[in-house]
Chains A and B, each alone.
Chain A
């Protein structure tokens, strides 16, 4: 038996770093070859021994502080042997730095953390363009633990309430920001932002809240504040306020504009402008077409030569269905104060769903992975643990790829659908004249405006199959792919005159 070629992979095999195919190959070989099995066991033993023994290499926690002390002395010694000019500058810098360090704290780490925290604070300045007649200026404050929290203003509409606050350290030592998880409001907190300020002991920020119902007052309570300085302390306290809310009615325009995309009829129904956002509502008919429209991924509104982008949404998500139609909406930045009469709606990207049912019988043994093909793309399925939950991993190739995401499920030997959880990972692919570039979702979010036209492709599924309450057998016997989602780039424009509505 030619074991040599397998030995090359042993190290990676033990690390768990082999891709599916190779992993299975090695597994199969080990099952058949005793000497290789023993070899792998010995390697594992040795590696574990090394790791365990070296865990005993202890070091004193503060040893870097001693090093910091010694550096200046060492520089003096080195000066004799090295380029004098450069060394003397280095010494001057070190001594100055060193002096600052000792003065500021006993633990240099604190200074570094302070620097990191600074860069986390988003630099957003209050939009001066906000028409002050819609911005309720307030001056409500509460003091606890020598810290004063003041509500300075509110903007409210149907969609959301934005509350502006200031946190002032009355002892004038540091800045505090609220701990996100400890802000209590009537309604759900959508986001909070911090603003840069010039004043050292005051931190400004705002909260975006989705209101619960017709409220004239919002009860707001902060219970934990974080010190943004190097001490990074948490202060517990009780800062409660009642914020009066005056909602401004949004401006609503009925549009009734049709567009036809690939045989699907889509109607832009309404445009709702509020002080904090703009929402475009549309509906599309439910029918048994081959290619069903699912939603818009990217739409732009253009008014007065200004472009309003839709928020990041890699897939138009189904909102709700009723009376033969499906409804969805797209959110944009506010144009409430921009005096808009005419709008151009630009549809740039949409997703559709196509049925294309394929069934695959699954192998029942654990060890091997299985390769299938769907629409010309290869998919590899591997199975892991047994026990109560069965885990599957599916890896999809990007080569010759014709779909974005699959609509799939698993059935057991009785043909019943197995409850599952599916964690999907993938990439956004941006095609330019230079070639294709892949972005993970975080990179895509950060660069969204630069990668217009990019499409999302799933590449891996981490699937958990559960037994349901009745003890239903969760061993998958078949994979069924019902169909797939596909995204298209288009360029369709509709001009709408708001005054005629």
Chain B
């Protein structure tokens, strides 16, 4: 009977997951070593970098945020209640540092009358997006960045921002609509 083949296939599926053994390793330690943090950051570095770019558009600033995040994770690890929240906790720290740096730069740009922007990694067309994002309220911007730029799920976003899932959903909807208005005719070129 064909059903036997289906069942056989079922029982033969077995994957070993490398990260499983690493996270059980993490559980034993109340503290964490740098090796492990660097490893975790490395896995997420693309996602995090995109968040950084959406906020800062500047490679050195983003590097700074990475550094601060690593140190904060190292120093505050003992506060983390459950290992399974590590990634969203780390992302929350990262995104908060991005926001802080943006605020800090706004303040200091009052002092300098020019702004040094490192455009070496920027393709000109994505200026449209970054400028449009700046026009959003923070609550809408952060969910759009986390979901459509960085690829987090709505549940993860809810964990990261400590916001209920329904709120995340409605903010995404609202954010997209406002963004659509801002971007307007540009999309048609695609």
Q: Is the CB of B179 within 8 A of A46?
A: yes
Instruction: Contact check, A405 vs B2: say whether CB atoms are below 8 A apart.
Output: no
Q: Identify the A interface with B (CB < 8 A).
A: 7-8, 10-12, 42-43, 45-54, 56-60, 63-64, 66-68, 70-71, 74-75, 78, 86, 90, 93-94, 97, 108-109, 111-112, 115-116, 119-120, 312-315, 317-318, 405, 407, 420, 422-426, 441-442, 445
Interfacial chain B residues near A8, Cβ < 8 Å: 169-170, 173
Nearest CB of B to A447, in Å? 13
The 6 closest A-B pairs by CB, nearest first: A53-B129, A56-B123, A119-B21, A54-B149, A57-B53, A50-B148
A50 x B42 contact (CB < 8 A): no
Q: A67-B66, A407-B3, A441-B11 are in contact. List 19 more A-B contacts (CB 8 A).
A: A11-B176, A42-B180, A43-B176, A46-B187, A49-B183, A49-B186, A51-B148, A63-B49, A63-B63, A74-B71, A78-B71, A86-B75, A93-B34, A97-B33, A116-B21, A119-B21, A314-B10, A422-B6, A426-B10
B190, A48: Cβ atoms closer than 8 Å = yes
B45 within 8 A of partner (CB): yes
Report chain B residues within 8 Å CB of A71.
34, 67, 70-71
Are A59's CB and B121's CB within 8 A?
A: yes
Complex partner residue of A66 from B8, B10, B15, B63, CB under 8 angstroms? B63
Cross-chain contact B2 with A422 (CB below 8 angstroms)? yes
Q: CB distance A112 to B180 under 8 Å?
A: no
**What is the minimal beta-carbon distance from A458 to any residue of chain B, in angstroms?**
9
Residues of A within 8 A of B38 (CB): 64, 68, 108, 112
Contact among A47, A66, A115, A424 with B148 in the assembled complex (CB-CB below 8 Å): A47
Q: Mark B140-176, 1 if CB is under 8 A from A, else 0.
A: 0000100011000010000000000000011011001
A58→B172 CA distance, assembly (Å): 25
Binary per-residue interface labels of chain B (95-116) against chain A in the complex, 1 for a CB within 8 Å, 0 otherwise:
0000000000000000000000
Interface string of B6-49 (1 = CB under 8 A from A): 11111101111010011001000000011100110110011001
Chain B residue nearest to A93 (CB atoms) is B34
CA distance A97 to B70 in the complex (A): 15
Q: What's the Cα separation between A210 and B147 when bound, in Å?
A: 50
CA distance A251 to B106 in the complex (A): 84
User: Which of A53, A56, A318 is within 8 Å of B1, CB to CB?
Assistant: A318
| B39 engages A59 (CB within 8 Å) | no
Nearest residue (CB) in A for B50 is: A57
Bound form: Cα–Cα A58–B120 in Å: 10
Q: Which among A10, A60, A74, A426 is the interface contact of B121 at CB below 8 angstroms?
A: A60
Could you list some 14 contacts between A and B, CB below 8 A? A7-B173, A45-B180, A47-B176, A49-B129, A49-B183, A57-B49, A57-B121, A59-B59, A70-B63, A74-B68, A108-B38, A423-B9, A442-B13, A445-B14
B128 CB-CB contact with A under 8 Å: yes
Taking A48-B190, A56-B123, A59-B49 as contacts, is the C-beta distance between A109 and B42 under 8 angstroms? Answer: yes
Smallest distance from the beta carbon of B164 to chain A beta carbons, Å?
14
A420 to B46 CA separation, bound complex (whole angstroms): 41
Task: Evaluate whether A441 and B10 lie within 8 angstroms (CB atoms) in the complex, with A46-B187, A60-B121, A70-B67 already known.
Answer: yes
Considering the complex, give the chain B residue whose CB is closest to the CB of A49: B187
Shortest CB–CB separation between residue B121 and chain A, in angstroms? 5
Residue pair B50, A317 in contact (C-beta under 8 Å): no
Per the bound structure, the CA–CA distance linking A54 and B66 in Å amounts to 19
- State whether B70 touches A50 (Cβ < 8 A): no
Proximity string of chain B (58-85) to chain A, C-beta cutoff 8 Å, 1 when within and 0 when not: 0100110011101100110000000000
B65 to chain A, nearest CB (A): 10
Q: Is B54 an interface residue (CB 8 A)?
A: yes
CA distance A106 to B16 in the complex (A): 28
Residue tally, chain B, CB below 8 Å to A: 64
Hey, which chain B residues are within 8 Å of A86, CB to CB? 75
CB distance from B175 to the nearest CB of A (A): 9
- What's the least CB distance linking B4 to chain A, in Å? 6
Contacts A54-B129, A54-B149, A97-B34 given; does A49 touch B190 at CB 8 Å: yes
Q: A94-B34, A312-B11 are in contact. Are A63 and B67 (CB under 8 A)?
A: no
Q: List residues of chain B with CB within 8 A of the CB of A97.
A: 33-35
**Bound complex: CA A318 to CA B186 (Å):** 63
Among A120, A313, A405, the residue within 8 A (CB) of B18 is A120
Collect the chain A residues with CB atoms within 8 Å of residue B4's CB: 315, 317-318
Q: Whose C-beta in chain A lies nearest to the C-beta of B122? A: A56
Measured between C-beta atoms, what is the minimum distance from B33 to chain A in Å?
7
Q: Which residues of A contact B148 (CB under 8 A)?
A: 47, 50-51, 54
A51 to B7 Cα, complex, angstroms: 39
Known: A54-B50, A54-B54, A64-B45. A317 touches B126 (CB 8 A): no
User: What CA separation (Å) do A501 and B177 show in the bound complex?
Assistant: 81
A312 surroundings in chain B (CB, below 8 A): 11
A64 B123 Cβ-Cβ under 8 A:
no
B11 engages A11 (CB within 8 Å): no
Q: Which of A50, A63, A111, A317 contacts B149 (CB 8 A)?
A: A50
Q: Are B173 and A10 in contact (CB under 8 A)?
A: yes
The verdict on A74 contacting B2 (CB below 8 Å), with A7-B173, A445-B14 known, is no
Name B172's contact: one of A11, A57, A423, A424 (CB within 8 Å).
Answer: A11
CB closest chain-A residue, reference B189: A49
Minimal beta-carbon separation of B5 from chain A (angstroms):
8
Which of A48, A56, A318 has the most chain B CB within a 10 Å cutoff? A56
**Shortest distance from the beta carbon of A457 to any chain B beta carbon, whole Å:** 12
CB nearest to B41 among chain A residues: A64
Q: Is the CB of A424 within 8 A of B6?
A: yes
Pairwise interchain contact A405-B63, C-beta atoms closer than 8 A? no
Residue of A7, A75, A115 ringed by the most chain B CB atoms within 10 A: A115
Establish whether residues B59 and A63, one from each chain, have CB atoms under 8 Å apart when the complex forms: yes
A314 — which chain B residues lie within 8 A by C-beta? 7, 10-11
Whether A50 and B129, one on each chain, are in contact in the complex, defined by CB atoms closer than 8 angstroms, is yes
**In the complex, A354→B38 CA distance in Å?**
56
Q: With A and B bound together, what is the CA distance between A68 and B63 in angstroms? A: 10
Residues of B within 8 A of A59 (CB): 45-46, 49, 53, 59, 62, 121
The complex places the Cα of A111 from the Cα of B34 at a distance, in Å, of: 12
Closest residue on chain B to residue A112 by CB atoms = B39
Let me know if A53 and B172 touch, CB within 8 A: no
